[in-house]
Amino acid sequence: MEFALSADQRQFQESLDRTLERLSPLSRVRRFADETEPVARDVWRGLADLGAAAVLIPEAHGGLGLTLLDAALVAEALGRFAAPSPFLGSAVLAPLALLQGSDAQQARWLPKLAAGEAIAGVAIAEAVAGARDGGGVTASGGKLNGKALFVIDAAEADLFIVADTARALHLVDGGAAGLTRIPLASIDLTRRLGELRFEDTPAEPLDARPDGLQRLRDAGWAMLAADALGACDAMLAKAVAYAQERQQFGRAIGSFQAVKHLCAEMAAEIEPARSLVWYAAYALSEGLDDGPLAAAHAKAHLSEIGRFVARTATEVHGGMGITDLLGLHYWFKRIGLDRQLLGGPERVRHLAAVMQGFA
Amino acid sequence: MDLTLSPDYEAFRDEVRAFLDAHRGDYPTAMGVERPRADILAWQNLLIEHGYAARTVPTEYGGHGAEPDVLKSRIIAEEFTRARAPGGLAGQGISMLVPTLLEVGSEEQKRRWIEPTLKGEIVWCQGYSEPGAGSDLAALKTRATEDGEDFLINGQKIWTSTAHAADMIFCLVRTEPDAPKHAGISYLLFPMTTPGIEVRPLKTMTGHSEFNEVFFTDVRVPKTSVVGGRGQGWFVANATLKHERGMLGDPNAAEQRLQAIIALMREETVGGERLMANPVLRDRLMRLQARVMAMKFNGMRTLTSAMTGAPAGMAALVVKLQGCELNHQLAAFAIDILGELGVLYEDSPHLRAHGSWQQRYMFDLGLIIGGGTAQIQKNIIAERGLGLPREPKPASDAVMRGAA
């Protein structure tokens, strides 16, 4: 029995942190946010060189064949640096969908995704979290019609994974006829969301398992939880550093209990949540019975803790916390998107109750 | 990450299960914290013999003498919980004094006290807190003045659970009034039958007296009763407090409470509707379930650290604060789902679970405060865990001269 990261995993974490320190410092995050550049290619290339794009892809397709826990470590690191990257769509959800597809579909896309050469968008929001504003895609005779909102990593995607209203998964080429992409501006300036419109758009069905969509949902929940966890870590670290440095009344504000207790409360919430996120990713990888439940709880719990940490860490920074100068808001907003994407906490908790036969 | 057990440990689990099956008829009905009855003493001896109590205490001191193995200890705890079998005695003598004596006691003290304590023949109470020394425990004023070969003890202790039933007390007193605050304290062992000791029950909000006040008037104790050297009491006591904080906030307790609440929500109806059918209550249940899971896996993480000798760091520092709060929240939720039934008490008709949720809700508030208050825990997390600066201390704290 060992509930801990392996030596390899700790080393992977360190490499990710070092690479992101270099490729995605605050100045780079700021530039991505300000210039509405669709994809931070340099950041993604650097991450792909580390294997971040290839984590879940089998070795036969040029991937690393690692687990969702390894993927969660990437998500956590991305959250820690508020790094712009198409990781969730291209390296987690699309590979998990394609692995349920035919050999030809896998052979066509997985090697490119593993190398970070292709980017995949994922349109499953309606099927997972419920449709808004008339969203929903219908499939008939190899064509898709309708619209999909809150599409993950939609900008410049070379392929799309799309769930229809019957919860079946489809593969759509990025250049397909009758496909329109509309960017959706969100509070989170570090990731891009989009809307897709389909008008008789040709699509290949994925020969997905009956629980194919659910597997994407569960993995997505675990990754968003891990992203929020990393963002919480960063916000706490910044709050602690600020409390040590900022002087008022002739002493560091971190020596006042009113301030240090806020920091302690954040740490006390974050640390057990880390254990929950690791377990969820591990349990999904191992196919344990409580994997989906753990993923749901990780998603909902990190949403609640994330809101608390985002607000509290900002407050510790005093007035500077709400300025653009410090850039703390990138993490604040990142946590905000992690909370709502693929279902807000109330919806996810409802689904957790359904899984256990409580509702 | 690997949560499977190796075959050795699976075999150990089978062994524990077989023991529990074979002795199902021997389980004592209530272990309690008071003076143990004969069936409890027999059960305790059986557990020591098989290594399910006093497992790692050396045999020369009456223990089972096994090598420390936190995973085996966890398996024992899990299997006893599953079988609803009472574990070994867990009074303050066993959980706090014995580890302290093993760490810093003299050979003579170990031989004299550990074995009868483990066997439940000697019951202990803990004399630490005082009316003026709670969170600031080192400000304690109970004085031990020298009188020939003895100390004469005068002062008062509070929050002394089990004092009315105890044979002995392990007690912090000030022996060196001229020394700096933390260096003037000694750790003494003496009988509760010594003349000059008065025990008064302290009734709490639960309606029961879970604690006592203990008054000392010219209590004569030989100087040889000191553990760990004169003036060393603060360091001796800190070794013991570590053991107490580990005990409070146990994730198994939270898991059991959650399961009891789930059962309650499935069975109870209000206005003809099952509690579980109420979406607002379900949402609160799910929030709590996430927290229970987080603490459970956090416990597995700190367990792994203990096994490998790696520092557990923040994961361990937050356990007392978060675990005690969670247990209190679970009891609060249970009362909310019971509604009016949740405020019935004592021997009222319609009472559920003998009023245990109500009792826990109130008693657990005490556990958030006791053993290091939530606010002290936050100081520890912030200062030791996050490296934030300490509150500047007033200069007058340095020496306790004239304290009594």
> Which of A291, A292, A9 is CA-nearest to residue B1?
A9
Would A75 be classed as within a structural domain? yes
More confident residue, B210 or A226: A226
Q: pLDDT, tens digit, for every residue of B257-276?
A: 999 999 999 999 999 999 99
**Interface contact B286-A297, CB threshold 8 A:** yes
Question: Do residues A20 and A108 share a domain?
Answer: yes
Give the pLDDT confidence score for residue B244 in this predicted structure: 55
Inform me whether the C-beta atom of residue A244 falls under 8 Å from chain B C-beta atoms: yes
Contact A69 B1 (CB under 8 A): yes
- To the nearest whole Å, the CA of A214 is away from the closest chain B CA by 20
A272 and B1 in contact by Cβ < 8 A? no
User: How many structural domains does chain A have?
Assistant: 3
Q: Which residues, 6+ apart, have CB-to-CB distance to B273 below 8 Å?
A: none
Query: Do A230 and A105 share a structural domain?
Result: no
Q: Residue B73's pLDDT is what?
A: 86
Q: Within the 182-221 window of chain B, which residues sit less than 8 Å (CB to CB) from chain A?
A: none
Residues A349 and A255 in one domain: yes
Residues A263 and A309 in one domain: yes
Give pLDDT, residue B402: 44
A1 domain residue, yes or no? no
CA-to-CA distance for A3 and B251, rounded, in angstroms? Answer: 15
**Which residues 120-139 of A have a C-beta within 8 angstroms of B?**
none
Residues in A 287-326 with any Cβ partner in B closer than 8 A: 294, 297-298, 300-301, 304
In a domain, A2, yes or no: no
Q: Which residues have a Cβ under 8 Å from the Cβ of A18 and sit 6 or more positions away?
A: none
CATH code of the domain covering residue A305: 1.20.140.10
User: Do A125 and A106 share a structural domain?
Assistant: no
C-alpha to C-alpha distance for A244 and A326, rounded to whole angstroms? 16
Coil, strand, or helix at residue B273? strand
Q: How many beta-carbon pairs below 8 A join chains A and B?
A: 166
pLDDT in tens, B289-333: 999 999 999 999 998 888 888 888 999 999 999 999 999 999 999
Kind of pairing between the strands at B124-127 and B168-174: parallel
Q: Which residue reads 């379900």 in tokens?
A: B282
Q: Which of residues 51-80 of B touch A (CB under 8 A)?
A: 71
With 90 as the cut, is the pLDDT of residue B393 above it? no
Residue B68, pLDDT above cutoff 50:
yes
- A258 and A318 share one domain: yes
B244 is an active site residue? yes
| Chain A residues touching residue B295 (CB < 8 angstroms) | 272
Chain B contact for A251 (CB, 8 A cutoff): yes
Asked which of B94-103, B249-258, B312-321 is least confident by mean pLDDT, the reply is: B249-258
| A346/chain B closest Cα distance in angstroms | 7
Residues of B in contact with A349 (CB under 8 A): 282-283, 286-287, 290
User: CB under 8 Å, gap of 24 or more: what pairs does B41-44 form?
Assistant: B41/B119, B41/B120, B41/B121, B43/B86, B44/B88, B44/B89, B44/B118, B44/B119, B44/B120
Task: Report A:87-116 residues touching B (Cβ under 8 A).
Answer: none
B258 in contact with chain A, both atoms CB, cutoff 8 A: no
Q: Does A262 lie in the same domain as A229?
A: yes
Q: How many residues does chain A have?
A: 359
pLDDT at B97 over 80: yes
Q: Are residues A107 and A127 in the same domain?
A: no
pLDDT exceeds 70 at position B64: yes
Q: Which CATH number goes with the domain that contains A102? A: 1.10.540.10
Q: In this structure, is the dihedral angle defined by the CA atoms of residues B228, B232, B234 and B235, taken in order, positive or negative?
A: negative
**Residue B188 neighbours by CB distance under 10 Å:** 26
In chain A, residues with a C-beta closer than 8 Å to the C-beta of B379 are 257, 260-261, 264
Interface of A with B in 162-191 (CB under 8 A): none
Q: What is the pLDDT of residue A36?
A: 75
Please tell me which residue of chain A has the smallest CA distance to B381: A264
Give the CATH number for residue A179.
2.40.110.10
* Contact assignment for A2 to B2 by CB distance below 8 Å: yes
Q: Which residues of B touch A275 (CB under 8 A)?
A: 294, 297-298, 300-301, 315
Looking at CA atoms only, how far is residue A175 from chain B in angstroms?
A: 42
- Asked if B35 and B44 count as a contact pair (C-beta separation under 8 A), the reply is no
Same domain membership, residue A90 and residue A184:
no
Confidence (pLDDT) at B32: 60
Report the C-alpha gap between B55 and B39 in whole angstroms: 20
Q: pLDDT tier at B29 (50, 70, 90 boundaries)?
A: confident
Q: Is residue A67 part of a domain?
A: yes
**A267–B5 C-beta distance less than 8 A:** no
Q: How confident is the model at residue B36 (pLDDT cuts 50, 70, 90)?
A: confident
Q: Which domain holds residue A136?
A: 120-205
Tell me the sheet residues that pair with B227: B187
Nearest to B61 by CA among B50, B48, B77: B48
* Nearest Cα residue in chain A from B75: A1
| Mean pLDDT (whole number) for B372-391 | 95
- Residues on chain B touching A278 (C-beta within 8 angstroms): 1, 297, 301
CA–CA separation, B291 and A300 (whole Å): 11
Complex ipTM:
0.97
Helix (H, G, I), strand (E, B) or coil at A343: coil
Residues A266 and A335 in one domain: yes
Residue A83 CB partners (closer than 8 Å, separation 6+) = A20, A23, A24, A29, A40, A43, A77, A190
Interfacial B residues in 365-384 facing A (CB < 8 Å): 375, 377-379, 381-383
Interchain contact, A255 vs B297, CB within 8 Å: no
Q: Among A185, A205, A225, where does a domain finish? A: A205
Per-chain mean pLDDT for chain B: 91
Alpha-carbon gap, residue B351 to B207, rounded angstroms: 16
Q: Do A224 and A348 share a structural domain?
A: yes
Nearest CA in chain A to B318: A268
pLDDT of residue A155: 87
Q: Exactly one of B244, B267, B340, B391 is catalytic; which is it?
A: B244
Look at strands A143-152 and A193-202 and give their pairing. Answer: antiparallel
Query: Rounded to whole angstroms, how far apart are CA atoms A293 and B293?
Result: 10
**In this structure, what token pair is assigned to residue A43?**
């950041």
Q: Which residues of A touch B277 (CB under 8 A)?
A: 359
State the 10-residue block means of pLDDT for chain A, 359 residues long: 94 98 97 90 97 98 98 98 97 98 97 98 96 96 97 94 97 98 94 96 93 97 98 98 97 97 98 98 96 98 98 97 96 98 98 97
Q: Quote the tokens at residue B49.
A: 């013999």
- CB count within 10 Å of CB A256 equals 17
Q: Is A203 in contact with A171 (CB distance < 8 Å)?
A: yes
Instruction: Measure B237 CA to nearest chain A CA, in Å.
Output: 25
Query: What is the structure's pLDDT at B403?
Result: 42
Partners of B71 on chain A (C-beta within 8 Å) are 1
b/e map B367-387, b = 16+ CB within 10 Å: bbbbbbebebbbbbbbbebbe
Kindly give the residue spans of alpha helices, DSSP state H, lying in A115-178. 125-129
Q: State the nearest Cα–Cα gap between A132 and chain B, in angstroms.
A: 22
- Single out the residue in A205, A224, A239 at which a domain terminates: A205
pLDDT confidence band for B398 (50 / 70 / 90): low
Domain endpoint, select from A205, A221, A251: A205
A109 with A126, same domain: the answer is: no
pLDDT of B198 strictly over 80: yes
Q: What's residue A308's pLDDT?
A: 98
Q: Which of B287, B307, B388 lies closest to A263 in CB terms?
A: B388
Interchain pair B382, A268: CB under 8 A: no
| pLDDT tens figures, B105-144 | 999 999 999 999 999 999 999 999 999 999 999 999 999 9
CB contact under 8 A, A256 and B391: yes
CB contact under 8 A, B286 and A353: yes
* pLDDT computed for residue A336 by the predictor: 98
Collect all residues of chain B within an 8 Å Cβ-Cβ radius of residue A297: 286, 289-290, 293-294
Beta carbons within 10 angstroms of residue A76's beta carbon: 26
Q: Which domains does chain B have, with CATH numbers?
A: 7-90 (no CATH), 124-231 (2.40.110.10), 249-369 (1.20.140.10)
Between chains, do A300 and B289 touch, taking CB under 8 Å as contact? no
pLDDT value of residue B34: 72
User: For residue B70, what is the nearest residue in chain A, using CA coordinates?
Assistant: A1
